[in-house]
Structure 1
Amino acid sequence: MPDWLEIFVRSISFLIILFVITKIIGKRQISQLSFFEYITGIVIGNIAAQMSMDKSFFISEGLIALFVWGLAPLIAGYLALKSKKFRTAVEGKGTVFIKDGKVMEENLKKEKYTIDEMLSLLRSKGVFFLADVEYAVLEQDGSLNVLLKKDKRPLTRSDLQLLPINEKEPRTIIMDGKLLNEDLSKSGKTKAWLDEELEAAGVTIENVFLGQVNSYGELYLDLYDDQLQVSASQERPLLLATLKKSVADLESFALATDSQEAKNMYEQNAKKLQKLIKQTEMYLQS
């Protein structure tokens, strides 16, 4: 066998083997690495590269080495699930950099981080002013998690005493101009509904690069032709306008009637609708 062909075959073989090992080890190996997994990954890659290029090694020897190093993180992961001490020893634990708004200088020195590096990590989280931070911890994978002070956190619906909104996963129902029937069914919509929406937007399904249904049942379309603009859904603004008109109608009825009982009923229902509008107005306007 020619040298180039042997190297080609060995490279392809170990590429497939590495792919299988990575799938067995799991997604964690390619996302959040512990120190042990980091070392294991380097060694496995080095073995595969050496076995691909160095013909003095037998493939069987490389397979044995890959098997041992591929098995190591699986065993370590199993032991980590069973023992917190082992998990702490192998994966480490988070280090507090900021506590109660104060920088923990000793912890920075322990992890060999400068104040500039910490500020850079904070900026990567969208935090540019140290005084805004209540708590920050450096995780085992080297990422920094930040808790802002109470008055610096974004407002939530609960802060405004608004009703919670349970959002669902958006569904992609059109991709590359083709309908995905299974996802359309899971979104709770029908083909007839989609046809009406496409007709209202003035496009055909073949013109759509990507189509998604959000948790509110609204259709988003991205067209192949970027010059064309698809009008935004008006369902929620129209609903808000209808609710406000209903309040005005009820108040008008209350003024027009001579019956005190009917007047009270209209006024009470108008107040209920006004309360509902106040709770949902931000959502309906978006």
Structure 2
Amino acid sequence: MVGDLVHYYNIAIELVVSFIALFAITKILGKTLITQITPFDFISAIVLSELVGNALYDSEVGVSSILFALTLWGLLIYITEWITQKFITTRGFLEGKPSILINKGKISFKELKKNHLDLNQLQHLLRSRDVFTMREVEYAILETDGTLNVLKKYIYDTPRRQDKNDVTDKEIYLPLTLISDGEIVWKNLTLLGHSKSWLTLEINKQGYSSVEEVLFGEWLEGEGLYLQGY
């Protein structure tokens, strides 16, 4: 019974000390550790939580060991942040660089590969920014924290400039991806009610000789087929 009380007392002391230490580190290092602006911030947050979590349930680790580990890791983070502020050339390596996934309306296959993204993931990121069709996008920039910022083309910017004098209700359609990574998305093509020969004819009209030459193809009712090559 006494042994259990001592055990819980030690955990309570370690928790309080860890809380104060983590709070102090966060205040010293700034808000970037909380928002995890860079990959390094993300790693730092994970390591700090692991240091505390593992130490709490290791009976051989005392308060002094926890404080030493947190202080040393906090110091390393502080030094790294100081280096990136002092020397601009180190920022790209330590903090990462934003990637332009869509540049002037064109998908950058090179940047997608570099960031280990496929077209489905890009579409998911766009939808999270309330963009449901790629034809609306002029620029899409993947930030170092993994978020996507989108600049729409002028005619699609909010409020819709091409419809500002049109107050009538219009039926809204979801776009259908017909080609992804040079392959036909058969489910959507069947849903649309067309065949491969129709799709081949449509891509030929836009200067492509085969489906394999097309990185991305999307159909939107009322606007037709939108294609981007490699």
Instruction: Supply the distance in 1 between the matched residues of 2:46 and 2:79 (Cα, whole angstroms).
Output: 18
Kindly provide the amino acid, as one letter, of the partner of residue 45 in structure 1. Answer: S
Partner residue, 1:33:
37
* Matched residue, 2:102: 98
Whether 2:158 is the aligned partner of 1:154: answer yes
Structure 1 residue corresponding to 2:87, chosen from 83, 88, 95: 83
What are the superposed Cα offsets for residues 151-209 of structure 1, whole Å, 9 maximum, x if unpaired?
A: 111259xxx9xxxxxxxxxxxxxxxxxxxxxxxxxxxxxxxxxxxxxxxxxxxxxxxxx
Q: Is the 8 A contact 2:36 2:42 kept in 1?
A: no
* Superposition map of 1:20-169 within 5 A: 20-155=24-159
C-alpha contact (below 8 Å) 2:51/2:69 kept by paired residues? yes
- In structure 1, the residue matched to 2:226 is none
Whether the aligned pair in 2 keeps the contact of 1:14 and 1:52 (CA below 8 Å) is no
Written as runs of structure 1 = structure 2, the 5 A alignment for 1:246-285 is none
Structure 1 length-normalised TM: 0.52
Q: Larger C-alpha radius of gyration, 1 or 2? A: 1
Does the 8 Å contact 2:14/2:62 carry over to 1?
no
Q: Is the 8 A contact 2:138 2:152 kept in 1?
A: yes
Distance 1:69 1:104 in 2: 38
Contact 1:96 1:137 survives alignment (8 Å): yes
Question: Which aligned pairs between 1:199-278 and structure 2 lie closer than 5 A?
Answer: none
* Contact 1:97-1:137 within 8 A present in 2 as well: yes
Gaps of 5+ in 2: 165-230
Q: Deviations over 1:42-67 (max 9, x none)?
A: 11111111222212023212211111
1-side partners of 2:130 and 2:60: how far apart? 52
- List 4+ stretches of structure 1 deviating above 6 A: none
- Check the 8 A contact 1:22/1:29 in 2, yes or no: yes
Structure 2 Cα separation of the partners of residues 126 and 78 of structure 1: 37
Instruction: Please give the per-residue CA displacement for 1:113-160, whole angstroms capped at 9, x wherever unaligned.
Output: 11111111111111111101111110111111111111111259xxx9
Mapped partners of 1:129, 1:151: distance in 2: 14
**Where in structure 1 are there 5+ consecutive unaligned residues?**
161-286
2:12 maps to what in 1?
A: 8
| Amino acid aligned to 1:120 | H
CA shift digits 1:52-101 (9 cap, x unpaired): 22120232122111111111222111211122211111011011110111
Q: 1:57 to 1:32 in 2, by over 3 A?
A: closer
Give TM-score, length-normalised by structure 2: 0.64
Alpha-carbon distance in 2 for matches of 1:50, 1:92? 29
Calculate percent identity across the aligned residue pairs.
Answer: 35
How many residue pairs get aligned? The number is 157
For residues 134 and 57 of structure 1, what CA distance do their matches in structure 2 show? 55
**Aligned partners of 1:50 and 1:154: how far apart in 2?**
49
